[in-house]
């Protein structure tokens, strides 16, 4: 597949890396020569220096032969025009744009992005996606990640094993005997920054980060199995009243009537705007790094503090100050991914990396075959993929133990006729099953092939 990526920032470079490692032909455009040089030197991609919306630049990047254009520059307008040029002049089949300004995304202007006006196939709003991801994590106390799949029938949960975890040093093959009625499969283990595939003899250790898939009706039992029975948050302090903080507060107001939120915003005009946009949340104008402001927000009584300003250092420090004041959990937005491994050691419970969320959203529109959704887990850990098994897939009619799956793939769940099936070695996959899979980066192309629709299907 030939892909043109517009923008060599953190999101663009991550998308390019994902695609290049899977043997796609990737060209990346940016007006900053140093960014283009950096990514060209580190990845098997072609770099073009220039403005991504200029027809001549797009032509040099190979837009005439491209299968897809992904526009993720820092400018909404450049992203939109790049998609327009790609459609009008080069007939690029699929066009994806990141659009941040909420003015463009108001329902009143929905016709703007029709094929007759601005022909963009997929619009990614990072702030809205991040707010939804944070809201999901708040719903499962003790989890650092929560991914709903198959219309919410199953969830992939990320959880850290502490010294109190009751299944430490227990061979994974014994979990079925210990919890015979618990529909759960461990997909991946992250230990000391390295991925560990969950084989039967593997044992969990304190400090491990574990991703497991569970029937949505059994999330609480699944968390208890890992020693996490924290109460759900009913009092939340949000640090930052920008787009993400405002989206999150609105989500809480609309979807969680039993939860109260207080928003701290340092900019007076933005604080006033947030106060006018919210109905029952309290907005406090002030600096979250000041003890008096945290006291006014009653941080000591909050079950969770969520720091989502556009300053990583403010987010980290305000989270730590709120926890010192008495807040039970801290969730922190961090754009600089080099900070991520350090933050957990400081006492922050959940790190939210906006680039990873945006990349996951884009990837589900890039993957081929009968793939319904894709979620990227951590840096280079792998992807959770939800796919539909068609009649021509080599999985059909075979027990999982006989399917000869490539190394680096774990099947976590099947959804058949609205029923969740936690697979065992003798489970047989049937046509039209929805299959939840974890795949290491090197196995993703194999997953696409397994779920490709063969020509004989037609």
- pLDDT score, position 318: 96
Are 118 and 158 found together in one domain?
Answer: no
The sign of the torsion formed by the CA atoms of 7, 444, 168, 183 equals positive
Question: What is the spatial distance between Cα 17 and Cα 394, in angstroms, rounded to a whole number?
Answer: 29
Strands of the 25-30 sheet, one edge to the other = 46-49, 25-30, 2-6, 68-71, 94-98, 122-124
Give the model's pLDDT for residue 379. 66
DSSP 8-state code for residue 378: T
**Strand 434-439, strand 409-416: pairing:** antiparallel
DSSP code at position 162: -
Model confidence band, residue 46 (pLDDT cutoffs 50, 70, 90): very high
Over the stretch 91-132, which tens digit does the pLDDT of each residue have?
999 999 999 888 888 888 878 888 788 899 999 988 888 999
Distance CA 55, CA 168 (A): 58
Could you report the per-residue pLDDT of 317-337, keeping only the tens digit for each? Answer: 999 999 999 999 999 999 887
Task: With respect to residue 450, please indicate whether it lies within any of the assigned structural domains.
Answer: yes
- Are 220 and 253 in the same domain? no
Average pLDDT over residues 244-253: 93
Q: Give the mean pLDDT of 4-8.
A: 96
Q: How far apart are CA 338 and CA 340, in angstroms?
A: 6
Given pLDDT bands bounded at 50, 70 and 90, which one contains residue 455? very low
Q: Write down the pLDDT at residue 389.
A: 86
Contact status, residue 220 vs residue 206, Cβ threshold 8 Å: no
Residues 135 and 119 in one domain: no
Same domain, 139 and 113: no
Give the position of tokens 């941040």: 100
Does the pLDDT value for residue 49 go beyond 90?
Answer: yes
For residue 331, what are the domain limits? 235-357
Q: What is the pLDDT of residue 177?
A: 81
pLDDT value at 298 more than 60: yes
Higher pLDDT, 129 or 58: 58
Q: Are residues 150 and 215 in the same domain?
A: yes
Q: Same domain, yes or no, for 219 and 245?
A: no
- The answer to whether residues 351 and 267 belong to one domain is yes
The domain boundary, picked from 189, 207, 225, lies at 225
Token pair of 96, please?
């994806």
Q: Is the per-residue pLDDT at 458 higher than 60?
A: no
Pair of tokens at residue 222: 């699944």
In a shared domain, residues 11 and 118: yes
Q: Does 67 reside within a domain? A: yes
Residue 246 falls inside a structural domain: yes
CB neighbours of residue 390 within 10 Å: 18
* Kind of pairing between the strands at 154-160 and 209-215: antiparallel
With cut-offs at 50, 70 and 90, classify the pLDDT of residue 368.
low
Domain shared by 314 and 242, yes or no: yes
**103 inside domain:** yes
Q: What is the DSSP letter of 230?
A: P
Structural domain total, the chain = 4
Co-location of 370 and 345 in the same domain: no
Q: How far apart are CA 290 and CA 16, in angstroms?
A: 41
Evaluate whether residue 421 is within a structural domain.
Answer: yes
The answer to whether position 412 is within a domain reads yes
298 neighbors 275 (Cβ within 8 angstroms)? no
The answer to whether position 265 is within a domain reads: yes
Of the three residues 124, 156, 188, the one that is the final residue of a domain is 124
Summarize pLDDT for 256-272 with one digit per residue, the tens: 888 999 999 999 999 99
Are 146 and 111 contained in the same domain?
A: no
Residue 444: how many CB atoms within 10 A of its CB?
A: 22
Task: Assign residue 265 the CATH number of its domain.
Answer: 3.40.50.720
Closest CA to 395 of 436, 430, 432: 430
Instruction: For residues 349 and 369, state if they share a domain.
Output: no
Tell me if 230 is assigned to some domain. Answer: no
The owner of tokens 């994902």 is 18
Give the residue ranges of DSSP H helices in 21-152.
Answer: 33-42, 55-60, 76-88, 126-138
DSSP string, 182-198: --EEEEEEEETTEEE--
What would the pLDDT profile of 156-201 be if each residue is shown by its tens digit? 999 999 898 999 998 988 888 888 888 889 999 998 878 888 888 8
> 124, 159, 187: which is the final residue of a domain?
124
CATH number at residue 177: 3.30.70.1450
0.85 cut: is pTM over it? no
């Amino acid at each position: 597949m030939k892909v043109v990526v517009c923008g060599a920032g953190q999101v663009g470079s991550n998308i390019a890396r994902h695609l290049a490692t899977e043997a796609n032909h990737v060209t990346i455009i940016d007006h900053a020569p140093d960014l283009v040089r950096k990514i060209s030197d580190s990845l098997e991609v072609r770099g073009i220096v220039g403005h991504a919306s200029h027809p001549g630049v797009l032509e040099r990047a190979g837009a005439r032969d491209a299968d897809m254009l992904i526009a993720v520059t820092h400018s909404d307008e450049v992203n939109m025009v790049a998609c327009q040029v790609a459609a009008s002049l080069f007939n690029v089949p699929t066009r994806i744009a990141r659009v941040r300004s909420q003015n463009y995304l108001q329902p009143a202007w929905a016709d703007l992005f029709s094929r007759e006006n601005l022909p963009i196939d997929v619009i990614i709003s990072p702030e809205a996606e991040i707010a939804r991801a944070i809201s999901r994590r708040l719903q499962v106390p003790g989890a650092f990640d929560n991914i709903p799949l198959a219309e919410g029938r199953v969830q992939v949960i990320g959880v850290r094993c502490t010294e109190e975890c009751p299944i430490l040093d227990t061979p994974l093959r014994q979990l079925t005997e210990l919890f015979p009625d618990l529909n759960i499969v461990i997909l991946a283990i992250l230990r000391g920054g390295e991925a560990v595939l969950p084989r039967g003899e593997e044992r969990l250790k304190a400090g491990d980060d574990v991703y497991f898939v569970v029937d949505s009706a059994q999330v609480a039992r699944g968390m208890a199995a890992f020693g996490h029975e924290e109460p759900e948050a009913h009092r939340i302090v949000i640090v930052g009243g920008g787009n993400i903080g405002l989206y999150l507060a609105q989500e809480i107001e609309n979807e969680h009537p039993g939860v109260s939120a207080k928003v701290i915003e340092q900019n007076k005009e933005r604080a006033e705007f947030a106060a006018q946009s919210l109905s029952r949340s309290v907005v406090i104008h002030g600096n979250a790094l000041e003890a008096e402001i945290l006291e006014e927000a009653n941080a000591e009584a909050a079950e969770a503090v969520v720091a989502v300003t556009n300053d990583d250092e403010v987010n980290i420090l305000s989270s730590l100050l709120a926890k010192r004041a008495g807040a039970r959990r801290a969730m922190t937005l961090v754009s600089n991914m080099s900070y991520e491994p350090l933050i957990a050691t400081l006492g922050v419970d959940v790190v939210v990396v906006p680039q990873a969320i945006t990349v996951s959203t884009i990837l589900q529109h890039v993957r081929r075959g009968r793939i319904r959704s894709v979620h990227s887990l951590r840096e280079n850990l792998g992807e959770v993929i939800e796919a539909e098994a068609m009649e021509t897939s080599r999985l059909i009619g075979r027990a999982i133990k006989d399917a000869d799956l490539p190394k680096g793939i774990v099947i976590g769940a099947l959804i058949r006729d609205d029923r969740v099936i936690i697979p065992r070695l003798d489970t047989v996959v049937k046509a039209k099953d929805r299959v939840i899979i974890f795949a290491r980066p090197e196995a993703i192309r194999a997953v696409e092939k397994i779920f490709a629709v063969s020509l004989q299907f037609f």
